[in-house]
Structure 1
Amino acid sequence: MKARQKDRGLPDPGAPWNEVAPGLWMGGHHWRDVSGVSRPAVVGSEFDLVISLFTRPGHGPDPAVEHHVADTPDGPLTAAQIHKVQDLALVAAQAVRDGRSVLVRCNAGYNRSGLVVGQALIELGQEAEAAIGVIRRKRSPWALNNPVFEQYLTTGLGVARLLADLDPLT
């Protein structure tokens, strides 16, 4: 099995996206099928709302689909980036409450999407540890392998944002 990123040695996801809670999906831009072939994860009109934390031309969604884009690094975030994650998680949670289907995606669908989906699950009433657990069970055991993002969720994004705002490097 080919690694997603050589520096992390993680396997490619086994599906383009997975439902982690009713109406809330998590995915990426590529995946590897059961025969080991790498496939693009192209979104059409399967979802009512798509939140992209990474984009690649030709990967959708269809123009009629509501699409929020916030290029986000897979590493420590600035206070402004954490605030954007909070906003997107609120948008996702409200859409789920409204009965809409939501896809949150990044490159592989492990970390950045996991951060937004985790916060959306928290907004929907789950505890942070439970949200992390469901993401790993439903998407992949490799989901949220970035320890900084897991800490953001367990500490709380509001606290993480305040602490990031204190950092003179951001």
Structure 2
Amino acid sequence: MKTRQKDRDNPLPEAPWNEIRPGLWMGGHVRAGVTGEEPVVVRREFDLVLSLYQRSGHGPPPDIEHHFAEMPDGPLSEAQIEQVERFAVLAAEAVRAGRRTLVRCHAGHNRSGLVVAQALVDLGSSVPEAITLVRQRRSPWALHNQLFVQYLESGLPTARLLTGLGAAG
């Protein structure tokens, strides 16, 4: 499955991850470095890591709680939207419990932005507030996938149901 769109001309973030709100971080597997794309490896900085993209050798260590779900940076299936909802709940619960939580994808723009924005909604933000906060704290390029913004604006449960209806037809 192709999980990352190659047609993006957006710059990679310089930071490996950024704190979006206390305890909730958003990042990627790569970042912009002096010589180009540099790998980002998670060690023991976080209590929980939620990955929507995976690359061997990028951590976290086996004793750190880690969940992975392969996710495209494009239209999502009903099951994938359900996985986004599950990851957002895990992230919100971890933040409420005071656990340092990282949500990451390839560059830390879209897939991680979708989960983090939904977690922010679950924590009490409005959708516009969540989107704005993700873009302010991570990158102006975060959530540039307009379909993901539409999923958030319609509500993930509604987006999941509509996607399921489309697949049944």
- Trace 1:1-170 onto structure 2 (pairs within 5 A): 7-33=7-33, 35=34, 37-168=36-167
Q: How many residues align?
A: 166
Identity of aligned residues (%): 58
Say if 2:5 and 2:73, in contact at 8 Å, map to a contact too: no
How far apart are residue 117 of structure 1 and its match? 0.3
Q: Structure 1's 6 and 82: CA in aligned 2 closer, same or farther, altered over 3 A?
A: closer
Q: Structure 1's 99 and 80: CA in aligned 2 closer, same or farther, altered over 3 A?
A: same
How far apart are residue 7 of structure 1 and its match? 1.5
Q: Structure 1's 5 and 87: CA in aligned 2 closer, same or farther, altered over 3 A?
A: closer
| CA distance, structure 2, for counterparts of residue 81 and residue 15 of structure 1 | 27
Q: Secondary structure at the match of 2:43?
A: coil
| CA distance, structure 2, for counterparts of residue 131 and residue 8 of structure 1 | 23
Alignment gaps of 5+ in structure 1: none
Aligned-partner residue type, residue 168 of structure 1: A
How far apart are residue 118 of structure 1 and its match? 0.5
How far apart are residue 36 of structure 1 and its match? 5.1
Q: Structure 1's 101 and 114: CA in aligned 2 closer, same or farther, altered over 3 A?
A: same
How far apart are residue 169 of structure 1 and its match? 6.8
| CA distance, structure 1, for counterparts of residue 144 and residue 168 of structure 2 | 24
Report the TM-score, using the length of structure 1 for normalisation: 0.93
Question: What is the RMSD computed on CA atoms of the aligned residues?
Answer: 1.5
Q: Secondary structure at the match of 2:85?
A: helix
The CA deviation string for residues 140-163 of structure 1, in whole angstroms up to 9 with x for no partner, is: 000001000011111100110110
How far apart are residue 14 of structure 1 and its match? 1.2
| CA distance, structure 1, for counterparts of residue 5 and residue 84 of structure 2 | 23
Alignment gaps of 5+ in structure 2: none
- What stretches of structure 1 move > 3 A for 4+ residues in a row? none
Q: Structure 1's 145 and 63: CA in aligned 2 closer, same or farther, altered over 3 A?
A: same
